[in-house]
Amino acid sequence: MRGRAEWLLWALLLPFLEGSSPVTGPKAVRGQERGSLAVQCRYTPGWESHGKWWCRGADWGNCKILVQTTASEPEVKRDRVSIRDDRENRTFTVTTEELRLDDAGIYWCGIARVGTDHAEQVSVTVDPGSSPVTGPKAVRGQERGSLAVQCRYTPGWESHGKWWCRGADWGNCKILVQTTASEPEVKRDRVSIRDDRENRTFTVTTEELRLDDAGIYWCGIARVGTDHAEQVSVTVDPGSSPVTGPKAVRGQERGSLAVQCRYTPGWESHGKWWCRGADWGNCKILVQTTASEPEVKRDRVSIRDDRENRTFTVTTEELRLDDAGIYWCGIARVGTDHAEQVSVTVDPGSSPVTGPKAVRGQERGSLAVQCRYTPGWESHGKWWCRGADWDSCKILVQTTASEPEVKRDRVSIRDDRENRTFTVTTEELRLDDAGVYWCGIERVGHDHGTQVRVTVDPAPVTSGDDSLNMTSHGPNGRSLLRSIHFLLLVFLKMPLFLGMLSAVLWVHRPQGSSRWETKSAL
């Protein structure tokens, strides 16, 4: 009984004994941004050889261990965090360097063991620190102009590298330009930086400002550990351009469209260009003049620079519906070009060729499709093409100026120039001839075409075929076959069989009567 009572006593006391943690630490600590923070935790005797750890997260059961010692490694460092276990004094110290504002939060001092670890919560607060670098909170520039931003720094940072970085989070921002101890002045593309070490200032200059240069930037000083930085907000106002043009123009399919753009004095010798694309920084230049070539043509697009009147005109011939979109009148120069946006709309045009929307033919028969065209197209080639997309369709047959009538395989075409019609005839129609076709007229540039949908109906089944089908397929055919077989059996096979049987019996009849007649004679 005594042994059982002792066991029950230990069972009751064990939860309370386990509830007291062998590790203790400060409930809250405070550090300063860009400084360092040391947190010392203590533990009771007997835990010297156990691993110690520093963990971040409100729930220590799921927190993230940042650094941890082992029995053989009493001192460990990871990134900005280090831990040192002083086993003689039964303390372990966690030190975080280069404190950041986002280091604030809930942490845990912990001791590893078999089962559930022991831990003590520590709340960390980080106060904003003073930076050795300062700069303007916000600056403003004008599109196509230049913008200079001057940042200052305190004594002692003269030999450190200075940088200009873009991005809302300076820890992940993109450095655009940076000085070094040996290079106090550096330029990359449109951005330059100059470190005036005597006056402890560095100036960042951006040339040829663009509207998309607006955003968050940082003046920074490089150092071992976390750099120092100051945020600068940049705004870019739209600037006046030396080139102007119509905001929107409209043309008709298969016609031509002329767009005239103007420019201010002083730009006469500069190249002019016509570019397609919503973003003119990445648009595709279709045609461009040079100082020596004021008039240039490429494919269907030409450009002419009238330097006397300071205008340049872009002409697009044989307009297509897919020519609609955003374009730019532009002037080339060193740096960023000048440009003006033009929206182009193309309305569907009337076609000189017309034909039936749909035609129908019968399998094994022939099908004639007649298409008409307007005056002036008599000498042009006519064609018949198959395919849903007529730009990529397959031409089956085509006339020429010298051959008004042509035949290929089962398809022929005849151009009646007097009546301005051409007829396409397909012989021996097949079911797979059904589909989308085009009546077309050939010309320089984009051909004219009109869609024709062809349907092919199956050929009718003949009576002979019906009887064959009825005899050889289906339950009705089999029933009829059995009926015919029965009639043949009754009226043809049965009499024939009976006749043959009678002949056999006659040949093999008994000879008794003959012998009787011979005997009587004797």
Residue 247 and residue 233 share a domain: no
Residue 142 and residue 184 share a domain: yes
What DSSP string describes 296-319? EEETTEEEEEETTTTEEEEEE-S-
514 domain-assigned: no
Q: Which residue has the tokens 């990134």?
A: 79
Tokens for 140, please give them.
């403003």
CA distance 353 to 385: 14
Point out which residues pair with 276 in neighbouring strands: 284, 327
- 450-470 burial: b if 16+ Cβ within 10 Å, else e: bbbebebeeeeeeeeeeeeee
Task: Provide the CATH number for the domain around residue 123.
Answer: 2.60.40.10
Residue 137 and residue 230 share a domain: yes
Residues in Cβ contact with 458 at an 8 Å cutoff, skipping those fewer than 6 apart: 362, 363, 431
Domain stops at, among 172, 207, 237: 237
378 domain-assigned: yes
480 domain-assigned: no
Residue 336 and residue 269 share a domain: yes
* pLDDT at residue 502 in the model: 75
Please, are residues 371 and 354 in contact by the beta-carbon 8 Å criterion? yes
* pLDDT at residue 383 in the model: 96
* pLDDT at residue 465 in the model: 45
Domain stops at, among 398, 431, 457: 457
Residue 449 and residue 367 share a domain: yes
88 domain-assigned: yes
Domains held by the chain: number:
4
One digit per residue, pLDDT tens: the chain, 522 residues?
444 444 333 333 333 344 578 999 999 999 888 788 999 999 999 999 999 999 999 988 899 999 999 999 999 999 999 999 999 999 999 999 988 888 999 999 999 999 999 999 999 999 887 889 999 999 998 887 889 999 999 999 999 999 999 998 877 899 999 999 999 999 999 999 999 999 999 999 999 888 899 999 999 999 887 788 899 999 998 878 899 999 999 998 878 899 999 999 999 999 999 999 988 778 999 999 999 999 999 999 999 999 999 999 999 998 988 999 999 999 998 877 888 899 999 988 788 899 999 999 999 999 999 999 999 999 999 999 999 877 789 999 999 999 999 999 999 999 999 999 999 999 999 999 999 999 999 987 678 888 999 999 999 886 554 443 434 344 444 444 455 555 655 566 667 777 777 776 766 666 544 333 333 332
**What is the CA angle 45-47-52, rounded to 5?**
135
Please, are residues 202 and 153 in contact by the beta-carbon 8 Å criterion? yes
Residue 180 and residue 138 share a domain: yes
**pTM for this prediction:** 0.40
Residue 192 and residue 247 share a domain: no
CA distance 220 to 193: 11
* pLDDT at residue 398 in the model: 96
* pLDDT at residue 211 in the model: 87
Residue 145 and residue 202 share a domain: yes
491 domain-assigned: no
406 domain-assigned: yes
Whole domain around residue 71: which residue ranges? 22-127
* pLDDT at residue 519 in the model: 33
326 domain-assigned: yes
Calculate helix-pair angle for 474-488, 463-472, nearest 10 degrees: 90
Domain stops at, among 219, 237, 255: 237
Residue 396 and residue 342 share a domain: no
Residue 168 and residue 251 share a domain: no
Residue 212 and residue 297 share a domain: no
Residue 103 and residue 31 share a domain: yes
Which amino acid is located at 385 in the chain? C
Residue 137's φ and ψ, nearest 5 degrees, are -70, -35
Measured CA to CA in angstroms, residue 126 lies from 298, 458, 462 at distances of 65, 85, 97
Closest by CA position to 289, among listed 276, 266, 307:
307
385 domain-assigned: yes
Residues in Cβ contact with 225 at an 8 Å cutoff, skipping those fewer than 6 apart: 80, 97, 98
* pLDDT at residue 98 in the model: 82
